Amino acid sequence: MRSRSRPTARIEIDGAGFPRSSLPLPVWRPLALALALIAPAAWAQVPEAARAPAAEDAELQLETVTVNARRRAEPAQAVPVSLSTLDGAELERQGVYQVQNLPLLLPSLNASYANGRQLSLAVRGIGNNPANEGLEGSVGIYLDNVYLGRPGMAVLDLVDLERVELLRGPQGTLFGKNTTAGVLNLSTRAPDFSPDNSVELSAGERGYYQGKAVISGPLSDTVAARIAVVGTHDDGWLKNDNDNRRLNSVTREGVRGQLLIRPDSDFSLRLIADYQHESGSQGTTMLYGVGPSPAGFRYLVDAAQLAGATGIRIDPDRYHVNIDGPQKMKVEQGGLSAEANWELGGGYRLTSITAWRSWEFGSHNDIDGTNADIFSDSEFRVKDSQVSQEIRLASPTGGAMDYVLGAYYFHQDISSSNWLTYGSGADVLALPVTAPLGANVLNGITSATHGKMSTDSFALFGQADWHLTERLDLTTGVRATYERKVARSRRDAPLNAAPLFVPLLQAGRDSQVGAWRSDDITVQDVSPSGLLGLSYELAPDVLAFANLSYGEKSGGVNINGVGAAPTLGEDSLKVDPERARSLEVGFKSLLWDKRLRLNASLFYARVQDYQATGMRAAPGSFVVYQVLTNVGEVESKGVEWEIEARPTRRLTLSFNGMYNDASYRSFDNAPCPAERNPGAPSSCDLGGKQVQGAPLWTANVGGSYRWPWAEHVEQYVSANYAWRSEAPGSLDNSRYNRLPAYGVLNLATGWQYSRGSDVWELSLWARNALDKRYYYTGSNTVSAYTVSAAAPRTVGVTLRYNFM
């Protein structure tokens, strides 16, 4: 196996409070950080006459970005919190239309992704956990102000987007659902009373194609409509050597319709309905690393070969697998929402958001990762339905204080079922020291596990901005949430089980697949959230801020499998609430006559009882279960920066990044990595180790340039390079599952022909132009580790037509 060792990072803090690193990084990076932190204060002291002359043309200035982070439309630079935004048009130019690819443009965001069910997001290293229906995400995802109860609901084609906002740190004093790591807020373009129509076709390698169409305009003087349809296909980028199939394929079709009803200037109603269908073989994983097993085997090498596996090769960069089982998945989801806004007397605004969403997932997977008949099939089905109601009252602005008050209700019903069919060689998994092969302990049986959970959440929240002076503001926020979850879990008696006449073998089977049923498991929490912040305008367009925030996420119940519950009891299925404290100090500035945007912040967060998912083995067996656990304490600290400049009218440059030291301060009940076997204890202490999926350094560099090419024709070129340092791929922090550092380069060039209201655009693009093989996430069984591979280089062409 190829060595995956990397230089060890050592971070110290110098006397000035800045990070000093022994990483093999260019010297200019720490210098850039220091300059970023001191520039606004220095700039504020420079006399106006000594600064750069005013721009002769407003086109030289950077565009003003308007956000609703504080539930009011206001410039992003005026919001005293750590906030990143992406314009929908920029996403279209970059070809980023999936939530798992947003980290290529948002350095503070990480995504763990395998398929529509296995998605989780992390902000500043907090929240990157594999899927479990019993856990909520630490990062809340909102689509048009509607909280998505499952992160997988965001695995859709993000077309017709107006804006993406990423808020970092605990949220809840302004948003419907409380979260501990941050919020990803997705806003689609609303209907308008001016026509806005477009048709777009794209084609590329691996049979890739995407078609999009948008029709928008008035139906009457008081009603406008917008409808967007999309279809996407990719043949897949993994080759199955067993049957020459292409895997990780995907086909998606979706439609989104909206109505905007505005009878007068005091009332508006926005109605949204959407539906999406997805199918393919997403979720295929590759063998990545193998360590010694507790019984001395090298699982999926020696053990799998005993079951007849051939052609086992651990070389994930080849993007090849060798499996004999099914690999397919299907997702159907849809929703309805109604957002009503009333402009009340005196400048008050009342908002009501009512929503319903449904999400269904189904998959069949070859989970042994070989062409041996160990597992014939693993079928997963998840059904989720949610309703929510949010009411907010916003005060008028311009006085000594303005505020937002709100109430929120959320109800969710979710069920999860897994049918695991063992193959003719499954006995290599059953008590390998004492069970002879062919004893039919597990061979040919099917074990079914079912779980369901109902959630009710009620909250009151509010936030006030106190304008103490013309330059100094004090922000206070509070939230109280009551949440109740009721869950059940069971495992049915195995089907097609051959009779066993040896008590030891029968006991071994019962411990791994025997019938078990829980009673109702109830989790109730009263969760407070709070915010205290100060902001001060150092100079025009230079804002300094400091925020102290606290947030909680309620406890959860493992409904994906009973695991060790028959032995340890149903309390072993529970996890405690997650509690986060966060401090950030930063600034936002517009310099050089608004041609340079320079933002930076220092942050420190401590999370107690951090909720995580891992894999543990059944005693004396290779059979593993997904378990929920609480990490004693996690710490995240570092610095992040955003720089955007427009040196000329046609050139825009950006440089964003983050240094983040995310580690486990206390984790003495962690699963043991493979290198601790054989003879490892049932749990290990990972205190001081790096958090799963949290790179130490991230950086994105980009730029675009436009120039006249012919009459009515303009050409542009754009490039974006996103780099991530290495990170642990699994919760046990094994050296066999270190995800290496990688950099992804996206390139595009295009020609835009404008004549009147008609605009034609032809673009050529290359995503992952350097064909870097990298991985969204890792996972583990016992002594074997797998990864989910991101797409290789894709070159294609897009034709777009906008018309009135």
Lowest mean pLDDT among 121-130, 518-527, 684-693: 121-130
pLDDT(454) > 90: yes
Q: What is the pLDDT of residue 45?
A: 38
Q: What is the pLDDT of residue 629?
A: 85
pLDDT tens, residue by residue, 472-513: 999 999 999 999 999 999 999 999 998 888 888 888 788 888
pLDDT(44) > 50: no
pLDDT tens, residue by residue, 383-428: 999 999 999 999 999 899 999 999 999 999 999 999 999 998 888 8
Lowest mean pLDDT among 349-353, 400-404, 784-788: 784-788
Percentage of the residues of the chain whose pLDDT score is greater than 70: 88
Strands (E), 725-774: 727-728, 738-739, 742-755, 758-767
pLDDT(52) > 80: no
CA distance 30 to 25: 9
Q: What is the pTM of this model?
A: 0.90
Q: What is the pLDDT of residue 519?
A: 92
CA distance 408 to 173: 11
Residues 10-38 have a mean pLDDT of 37
pLDDT tens, residue by residue, 545-603: 999 999 999 999 999 888 778 877 888 889 999 999 999 999 999 999 999 999 999 99
Instruction: Identify the CA nearest to 537 among candidates 85, 79, 174.
Output: 79
Other CB atoms closer than 10 Å to residue 192's CB: what's the count? 14
Other CB atoms closer than 10 Å to residue 658's CB: what's the count? 24
CA distance 261 to 340: 9
Q: Are 777 and 693 in contact (CB under 8 A)?
A: yes
CA distances from 6 to 229, 303, 740 (A): 45, 30, 8
pLDDT tens, residue by residue, 305-328: 788 888 888 889 999 999 998 999
pLDDT(16) > 60: no
CA distances from 695 to 85, 334, 473, 634, 661 (A): 21, 34, 35, 15, 8
Q: What is the pLDDT of residue 544?
A: 98
pLDDT tens, residue by residue, 463-475: 999 999 999 999 9
Residues 273-286 have a mean pLDDT of 95
Q: Are 605 and 581 in contact (CB under 8 A)?
A: yes
Instruction: Identify the CA nearest to 410 among candidates 147, 186, 150.
Output: 147
Lowest mean pLDDT among 117-126, 627-636, 773-782: 773-782
Taking every pair of Cα atoms in the chain, the longest distance, rounded to a whole number of angstroms, is: 94
Provide the residue type at 145 as one letter. N
Residue 7, token pair as written in the block: 């230089």
Lowest mean pLDDT among 91-105, 155-169, 289-303, 720-734: 289-303
pLDDT(742) > 90: yes
Q: Are 329 and 281 in contact (CB under 8 A)?
A: yes
Q: What is the pLDDT of residue 9?
A: 34
The three-state secondary structure class of 511 is helix
Residues 695-721 have a mean pLDDT of 95
pLDDT tens, residue by residue, 327-340: 999 999 999 999 99
Q: What is the pLDDT of residue 563?
A: 75
pLDDT tens, residue by residue, 175-228: 888 889 999 999 999 999 999 999 999 999 999 999 999 999 999 999 999 999
Q: What is the pLDDT of residue 53?
A: 43
Q: Are 576 and 555 in contact (CB under 8 A)?
A: yes
Kindly indicate the confidence band of residue 369, based on its pLDDT and cuts at 50, 70 and 90: confident
Residue 445, token pair as written in the block: 């049986």
Length of the chain: 804
pLDDT(442) > 70: yes
CA distance 120 to 100: 9
pLDDT(521) > 80: yes
Handedness of CA 355, 389, 132, 734 (dihedral sign): positive
CB-based contacts of 669: which residues, under 8 Å, 6+ apart?
629, 632, 683
CA distance 290 to 672: 14
CA distance 745 to 720: 6
Q: Are 271 and 338 in contact (CB under 8 A)?
A: yes
CA distances from 62 to 57, 69, 647, 654 (A): 11, 20, 10, 11
Residues 259-285 have a mean pLDDT of 96
Q: What is the pLDDT of residue 568?
A: 76
Kindly indicate the confidence band of residue 687, based on its pLDDT and cuts at 50, 70 and 90: very high
The three-state secondary structure class of 65 is coil
CA distances from 416 to 477, 491, 791 (A): 37, 12, 29
Q: What is the pLDDT of residue 211?
A: 97
pLDDT(34) > 60: no
Q: Are 561 and 121 in contact (CB under 8 A)?
A: no
pLDDT(292) > 80: no
pLDDT(20) > 80: no
Q: What is the pLDDT of residue 132?
A: 83
Q: What is the pLDDT of residue 158?
A: 86
Residues 785-796 have a mean pLDDT of 94
CA distance 688 to 670: 12
Q: Is 249 exposed, middle or buried (0-12, 13-18, 19+ CB in 10 A)?
A: buried
CA distance 82 to 533: 12
Q: What is the pLDDT of residue 728?
A: 93
Provide the residue type at 716 as one letter. Y
CA dihedral 362, 364, 367, 369 (to 10 degrees): -130
Average pLDDT along the chain: 87
What are the residue ranges of helices labelled H in 197-244?
Answer: none
CA distance 801 to 643: 32
DSSP of 68-112: -TTSS-EEGGGS-S-EEEEEHHHHHHHT--SGGGGGGT-TTEEEE
